[in-house]
Amino acid sequence: MFWDYRLLEGEGGWSSQGCQASSGDAATNCTCYHLNSFSVLMSASLVPSSFALTSLSTLGTWASILALVANLAICYLIWPVVVKNKVARLRYTTLVNLTLSLLTGSV
């Protein structure tokens, strides 16, 4: 069965149309003659904008940016104390690069 968005006046529902089940001695095979998208980001209708959702998204983005900047500041302050060998240098360089990448993606 698959989720068919065309059923129930656009609300969607489970449908077995286009699918066949065949069972053997040790297994059951399901064969479907259609393709489905299982993406969470895809919507059949427009999502209404909401002041509350926009505010929460903006607040969450700014909280993430502030946390990433704080992480960079802490790394800058403790760098001379913590980085004493190649492994520690690689570890903290990776952390700084990851933080910078996330910060760049947030802005």
**pTM of the prediction?**
0.54
What pLDDT digit, counting tens, does each position of 10-31 carry?
A: 788 877 777 777 877 788 777 7
Q: Name the CA radius of gyration of the chain, rounded.
A: 25
Helix (H) or strand (E) holding 22: strand 19-23
Structure tokens at 14: 């489970």
The predicted pLDDT at position 39 comes to: 37
Rounded percentage of the chain residues whose pLDDT exceeds 70: 85
